[in-house]
Structure 1
């Protein structure tokens, strides 16, 4: 039996751990609570991690909380189609960017609708995907003027980070797999 996907966004509030977040221990506690909340509500269409009320975070907290969470997300251990970070201020956005750049990861800033972290090549791809809405790989490849394998590689990374949703379409006559992509 397939559980029904939760269509309403699931929000995790970070400030309940304090306005200034530091230490790996606090990061572990927050990440564990986040993962438990997602597991209890899974499957989740959109997870919103809300940083409103959090004034600052150390690199150690951010890496333990968000860096390791995004590793789990990319590995498929988190049952959420999309993830957005909201309520970031300049201090917290910088901590997130440093953490994700070091781990070669990225996240969606849900307020600014941009990618944060290691997303230099993917920023243009994400922006083009947002403008296309719902699309197939060939449409994105044409829009970016890149090869299909290049577009597929970019899309894979965006899906792993929860920036895009991928749904399998009917099997094409020529065989193989075909997917439709959209914003979560």
Structure 2
């Protein structure tokens, strides 16, 4: 990352690849275009993947485009502060949900502030994060009455999906590493509206 460059939000418009999206080849081309845009605008604080104007997508397109993008994000191959999906209609939301559930992934719907995909056990965690804005693992574990390892596992999934950011916290009291978690800037604005 270039330290003189400020982090900015970036929007990737899926509609540029068509209104009815099908095939893995088309999904791979869209994912490659997304990766190039993110690399060329890095650092990106919040990436919005905008589906406005996209009428429908096949499961194969969605898996190749979005499913594999989220794998890259979780692996650390894509560096963005946060990710959100916008402009989903009923058809595209269904395709995204199927993809995410099959891959055991989650995503943030920018329009509703809700989690999509394999999110059933993460909903309370994300809702609590939305209320607090910034917190530590122990605070979450205590509030949800879960163990620290369970809280850490939930937070890891939310960070990998770009739903939360993780920052090193100053001076852990008990030794070791301690982190603070917060919503990406765009998600914070969504909860204030």
TM value normalised by structure 2: 0.92
Which residue does the alignment assign to 1:42? 42
Structure 2, unmatched stretches of 5+, are: 185-193
Alpha-carbon offset, residue 3 of structure 1:
2.9
Distance 1:143 1:175 in 2: 23
Structure 1 position 19 matched with structure 2 position 5: no
Distance 2:154 2:137 in 1: 10
Which residue does the alignment assign to 1:60? 60
Alpha-carbon offset, residue 58 of structure 1:
0.3
Q: Equivalences for 1:1-184 in 2 at 5 Å?
A: 2-4=2-4, 6-184=6-184
Change (3 A) 1:2 1:104: same
Contact 1:96/1:117 (8 A) holds in 2: yes
Change (3 A) 1:19 1:5: same
- For residue 138 of structure 1, give the secondary structure of its aligned residue in structure 2: helix
TM value normalised by structure 1: 0.96
Distance 1:122 1:175 in 2: 28
Structure 1, unmatched stretches of 5+, are: none
Change (3 A) 1:109 1:6: farther
Distance 1:86 1:120 in 2: 20
Distance 1:58 1:175 in 2: 49
Aligned structure 1 segments of 4 or more residues deviating by more than 6 angstroms: none
Contact 1:19/1:53 (8 A) holds in 2: yes
Contact 1:84/1:163 (8 A) holds in 2: yes
Distance 2:117 2:39 in 1: 26
Alpha-carbon offset, residue 171 of structure 1:
3.2
Alpha-carbon offset, residue 64 of structure 1:
0.4
Cα RMSD after superposing both structures:
1.3
Change (3 A) 1:5 1:176: farther
Alpha-carbon offset, residue 172 of structure 1:
1.9
